[in-house]
Chains A and B, each alone.
Chain A
Amino acid sequence: MSAEDSDSTQSPTRRVTVRGGVQSAGDASSRSVPSPADLYANGAYGETLVRSLMRAQLGVALGVLLPAAAVVITFPILSVLLPGLVKLTVAGVPVTVAVLGVGIYPPLVVLAVLYVRRSAKVEERFVALFDKR
């Protein structure tokens, strides 16, 4: 199982200063600019680079999943704590129908779009770190 497609037609990305995310990796980083070959060399430096990318991407993922989870976990509890909720209506529509039938979807879409943008940015920054001859 491997990277079977590698048309490395790389769109030149702006050089972005990377904050957090990718740190320099101790002794191995005598050079200031890593090359893609460092990623594939079996050593602590390459591993650190890959792990830092994973950590950054996991952060982006949790950044959208945790808010979604918070909403989804609180709403059922809220309905138990506030039994009056069921009687409320929004523009003639019962509030529970309005939330579970319609209202919950727009935030879902916003989170999805946010994730796509943020994860792309993380990748751009990561790629921009490298010296690509």
Chain B
Amino acid sequence: MTDTGAVVGVVAVSLATAAVASRGLRVSRTRDDFLVAARQVPSALNAAAISGEYLSAASFLGVAGLAMADGVGALWYAVGYAAGYLVLLAVVAAPLRRFGAYTIPDFAEGRLDSPLLRKVSTGFVLVICGFYLLPQMEGAGVTLQVAFGGPYWVGVVVLGVVVTGAIASGGMKGITFVQSFEFWLKLVAIALPALALLAVFHHPSLDSVSAKAPAVFERATTVRFSEPTGIRVAVPVRVAVHGELDGSSHEATEGTVLELSAGLHQVGAGASISFPAGASAPTPTSGALSNRQWLSPLLLLGGRSIHPLAATYGIILATFLGALGLPHILVRFYTNPDGQTARRTTAIVVMLLSCFYVWPALLALLGRVEAPGLYLSKTTDTVVLVLPRLAVGGVGERILSALVAGGAFAAFLSTSSGLLIATAGALSHDILAGGVKAFRLSAVGTGLVVTVAGLAVRGSSINVLVGWAFAVAASSFCPLLILGIWWTRLTRRGALAGLLIGGGSASGAVVAAMAGAATRGWPAILVQVPAIWTVPLAFATMIVVSLLTPRSLPSDVMGKLRALHLPEALRQPGLTDP
């Protein structure tokens, strides 16, 4: 089951990364290197670098996968991922650049004169990066599984080792050109297959989504069932079965050929069924959406309609407000020479992301029509990887497979390296003694923990996991940044209380959701889409506690607001703040 094209793509991206990493060994990177680079990076290049680092496994695989599984409402994630930068542009981009904060803990300490606040912020950097790294690991596991046909853990371990090794040896990050190249690679890797597929499918795919006809296997397709699954067959079909079907096991290596009658059947875990080309696809008895349900613009949690309006608004809150609180993104804004350039860069990011996210939506739609087997095997997260194989033959198929696998791997690499740098930087700088040795130690430690955890999250939706990281960011750093920049009366205690209560309750909810604590009714919404209550709670806490504790107002608030808001033209040496 090895896919040569995909293997070539993954290997090419890994080699390129290794090459870049080895260059990084020679060019030592420190905070000051960023400062030097700052004066030279043009907005468009910088914007592509930001987008390159931002587009993760969630965007490349997860959006299309989740939209295919749970319907069009899941596209709110993509809309939010892009719109988050509009919010970032309008409320934080220029002030943060002008303030000179390099990380969120820097901002927290600088704005509110509180080393304690710095420590707490560091804690949330670790939490958010951790939640964000897990789905990257899962994405790698899934991708290599599809590419090599090997076990899931291989991809997780490969990504863990490559990224940790690259970062601990001092490479990867900060090389703006590489990150911006990875953006264009990802864009081409998702747009080209989508366009090719659109051209290749001979019936008008888009129409048949709204039609009643059941989906059809275009090509002979073997579906592997990872868990026991009930299937509903509409049209009798002759299939080859390997493994357990309706209680009897079929162990012949090439499978037993039998007639699958219309009606319900029970497939055992690990079984596989091969369907001939042109066969109508059965639907799983649980979790299958009708076309009408699928087309609903509301978010269906796990494909089920649980207070869908609340779920939709929860995801909108998390993604629109979460982007500005992501720890690995802020650093890049520092490479803008001034506030106005930071704005221009962010606007270009909005443009680039908008160009990207139309493609996962299209692939989800094509997957719904062309890859019904993924519903049966519950592997819709692989739809971007699998689709090219279903439609295109020969050399074209290999090229497209190489492209999507390479693009996917680039997505995990760029995002997880950014996250790992942010984590190791926070750990070594704020918790350990600091220095290069501490940084390497932190990188290796984090890499190890995340790799092990990545093995455990198998089977969760990549996109849902990333959405949780956004929810925590939106409930902690988002209010801290917005109120810190625009509100003069924010106090140390207010900020601290808001961070702890907002971020703490969001993190708690996410942990509960991961443990499968609540799956029905309102408890499910509160736990799985926590932003809907934790974001308002965080803002309210910060404001109310600040008003109650005017004595813990930081000194020289006006000086800080000047640093945040005054255009560069009005800053004069000798007139700047002490």
Please give the residue numbers on chain A whose beta carbons come within 8 Å of chain B beta carbons, in ascending order.
Answer: 1-8, 10-11, 36-37, 39-40, 42, 46-47, 50-51, 53-54, 57-58, 60-61, 64-65, 68, 72-73, 75-77, 79-80, 85-87, 89, 92-94, 96-97, 99-102, 104-106, 108-109, 111-113, 115-116, 119-120, 123, 126-127, 130
Contact = CB atoms under 8 A, between A and B. Distances in A.
A65 B90 contact: yes
Nearest to A78: B297
B569 to A, nearest CB: 4
Given A57-B565, A80-B298, A130-B570, A1 B558 contact: no
Nearest to A80: B309
B567 interface: yes
A97 B109 CA distance: 44
Nearest to A128: B569
A115 B204 contact: no
A116 B563 contact: no
B460 interface: no
Interface in B287-301: 292, 295-298
Contact of B83 (A68, A99, A113): A68
A123 to B, nearest CB: 5
B562 A50 contact: yes
A105 B351 CA distance: 8
B340 interface: yes
B76 interface: yes
Given A10-B569, A40-B575, A94-B206, 18 more contacts: A1-B100, A1-B106, A3-B100, A3-B576, A50-B561, A76-B297, A79-B296, A99-B297, A100-B361, A102-B361, A105-B79, A105-B354, A108-B86, A108-B354, A115-B89, A116-B343, A119-B343, A120-B343
Contacts of A94: 72, 206, 209-210, 295
B339 to A, nearest CB: 8
A100 B209 contact: no
A68 B207 contact: no
Nearest to B571: A6
Contacts of A51: 488
B350 A112 contact: yes
Contacts of A106: 354
Nearest to B297: A96
Given A87-B210, A94-B209, A100-B297, A36 B572 contact: yes
Contact of A37 (B73, B99, B107, B575): B575
Contacts of B100: 1-5
Contacts of A2: 100, 563, 576-578
Contact of B296 (A77, A96, A99): A96
B94 interface: yes
B558 A77 contact: no
Q: Is the interface of B mostly helix, strand, loop or mixed?
A: helix
Contacts of B177: none
B489 interface: no
Contacts of B355: 105
A39 B566 contact: yes
A105 B357 CA distance: 9
A39 B562 contact: yes
A119 B565 CA distance: 11
B358 interface: yes
Contact of B298 (A42, A76, A92): A76
Contacts of A60: 90
A93 B204 CA distance: 10
Given A68-B83, A96-B296, A3 B486 contact: no
B201 to A, nearest CB: 13
A94 B72 CA distance: 10
Q: Is the interface of A mostly helix, strand, loop or mixed?
A: helix
B486 A100 contact: no
A8 B571 contact: yes
Interface centre among B78, B87, B297 (most CB of A within 10 A): B297
Nearest to A113: B347
Nearest to A55: B486
A111 B86 CA distance: 8
18 contacts: A3-B566, A3-B571, A5-B337, A5-B568, A6-B571, A54-B486, A61-B90, A64-B86, A68-B83, A80-B309, A87-B292, A96-B297, A97-B72, A109-B350, A112-B86, A116-B343, A119-B343, A123-B340
B118 to A, nearest CB: 11
B224 interface: no
A54 B571 contact: no
A39 B19 CA distance: 50
B365 A97 contact: yes
Given A76-B298, A79-B296, A94-B209, A6 B567 contact: no
Interface in B534-578: 558, 560-563, 565-573, 575-578
A38 B204 CA distance: 68
Given A1-B560, A86-B292, A100-B72, A50 B565 contact: yes
Nearest to B357: A105
Nearest to B87: A65
Interface in B150-195: none
Nearest to A7: B568
B331 interface: no
Contacts of B320: 72
A102 B562 contact: no
B442 interface: no
A75 B365 CA distance: 20
Nearest to B351: A109
Contacts of B79: 72, 100, 104-105
B111 interface: yes
Nearest to A37: B575
Contacts of B82: 105, 108
A14 B361 CA distance: 46
B418 to A, nearest CB: 22
B244 interface: no
B91 interface: yes
A29 B356 CA distance: 51
Contacts of A93: 206
B565 A8 contact: no
Nearest to B337: A5
Given A92-B207, A94-B209, A101 B570 contact: no
A102 B560 contact: no
Interface centre among B75, B296, B566, B578 (most CB of A within 10 A): B566
Contacts of A76: 297-298, 309, 312-313
